[in-house]
Structure 1
Amino acid sequence: MTSARPNRSEDVSPLVPKALRVSAALSWRVLVIAGAIWLLGWVIGYLGVVVIPVAVALLLAALLAPAVGQLVRWKVPRGLATTVVVVGGVVIVVGVLYGVISAFVSGLPELQSKVADSVNAIQAWLEGPPLKLSHDQFLNLPEKLIGLIKDNQLTITTGALSTAATLGELVTGALLVLFTLIFFLHDGAGIWSFLIRVVPADVRPRVDVAGRRGFSSLVRYVRATAAVAVVDAVGIGIGLGIVGVPLAVPLAALVFLGAFIPIIGAVIAGTVAVLVALVAKSFVSALIVLAIVVAVMQLESHILQPLLLGRAVKLHPLAVILVIASGFTFGGIAGALMSVPVLAVLNSGIRSLLHDQGVDPAEVDPIRSTDTEPGEKQ
Structure 2
Amino acid sequence: MAVFRSRDERRNDALRRETLDSVSPGMRIAAAWSWRILVVAAALALLGFLIVQLRMIVVPLLVAVVLAALLVPFKNWLQRHGWPKGLAVAVSEIGVIAIIGGLLTLVVLQIRSGYPALEKRTKSQYDALTDWLHGPPFNLSDKDIAGYLDQAWKAIQADSSNLLSGALDIGSTAGHFLAGILIVLFSTLFILIDGKRIFHWLVRLFPKKARDAVRGAGESGWLTLTRFVKVQIFVAFVDAVGIGLGAFILGLFTGGFPLVIPIAVAVFLGSFIPVVGAVVSGVLAVFVALVFLGPVPAIIMLGIVILVQQIEGHVLQPFVMGTAVKVHPLAVVLGVAAGGFIAGIPGAFFAVPAIATLNVMIGYVARGEWRTNPHPDLRDVTTDVR
- TM-score class, shorter-chain normalisation, is 0.7 to 0.9
Percent sequence identity over aligned pairs: 41
Q: Which residue of 2 aligns with 1:298?
A: 310
Measure, in 1, the Cα distance between the counterparts of 2:69 and 2:15.
63
* 1:184 aligned partner, one-letter code: I
Q: TM-score, normalised by structure 2?
A: 0.84
Where 1:132 maps in the other structure, the secondary structure is coil
Q: CA 1:15/1:90 → structure 2, altered by over 3 Å: closer, same or farther?
A: same
CA contact (8 A) 1:82 1:186 kept: yes
1:30 aligns with: 37
Residue 319 (structure 1) aligns with: 331
Aligned ranges 1:258-273 → 2 under 5 Å: 258-273=270-285
* Residue 319 (structure 2) aligns with: 307
Q: 1:336 and 1:315 mapped to 2: Cα distance?
A: 16
Question: Structure 1: which amino acid aligns with 2:52?
Answer: G
| Inter-partner Cα distance in structure 2 for 1:192 and 1:308 | 29
Match of 1:172 among 169, 173, 179: 179
The answer as to 2:369 corresponding to 1:356 is yes
Corresponding position: 1:240 with 2:243: no
Q: Kindly state the Cα deviation for residue 206 of structure 1 after the two structures are TM-superposed.
A: 2.4
Structure-1 separation of matches of 2:331 and 2:353: 12
Note if 1:275 corresponds to 2:287.
yes
- Correspondence 1:80 to 2:87: yes
1:319-358: per-residue Cα shift (whole Å, max 9, x none)? Answer: 1111111111111110010011111111111222224133
- Choose the corresponding residue for 1:99, options 67, 82, 106: 106
Q: What is the Cα deviation at residue 35 of structure 1?
A: 1.2
Aligned length: 350
CA offsets 1:128-156 (integer angstroms, 9 cap, x no match): 11232346x49999xx9xxxxxxxxxxxx
Relative to 1, partners in 2 of residues 1:321 and 1:2: Cα closer, same or farther, differing over 3 Å?
closer
Match of 1:55 in 2: 62
Q: Indicate the SS of the match to 1:357.
A: helix
**Superimposed CA distance per residue, residues 21-52 of structure 1 (whole angstroms, 9 cap, x where no aligned partner):** 22122112111111111111110011000000
Extract unaligned runs of 5+ from structure 2: 151-167
Q: 1:45 aligns with which of 34, 52, 56?
A: 52
CA pair 23-110 structure 1, distance change in 2 beyond 3 A:
same
Alpha-carbon separation, structure 2, partners of 1:334 and 1:46: 14
The 5 Å alignment of 1:185-264 reads: 185-245=192-252, 246=257, 247-264=259-276
In structure 2, C-alpha distance between the alignment counterparts of 1:217 and 1:363, rounded to whole Å: 11
Q: Is the 8 A contact 1:256 1:266 kept in 2?
A: no
Deviations 1:237-285 (A, max 9, x none): 1111222345222121111111112344213321222233223432112
The root-mean-square deviation of aligned C-alpha atoms, in Å, is 2.5
Specify the alignment match of 2:162 in structure 1.
none
The CA distance in 1 between the partners of 2:146 and 2:42, in whole Å, is 56
Q: Output the amino acid matched with 1:228.
A: V
Higher relative contact order, chain-length normalized (CA < 8 Å, sep 6+): 2
Determine the C-alpha separation between the residues in 2 that align with 1:7 and 1:303. 64
> Contact 1:61 / 1:181 at 8 angstroms: preserved in 2?
yes
Q: TM-score normalised to the size of structure 1?
A: 0.86
Unaligned runs of 5+ in 1: 145-160, 370-378
Change in 2 beyond 3 A, CA 1:106/1:294: same
Shift in CA distance, 140/322, structure 1 to aligned 2, threshold 3 Å: closer
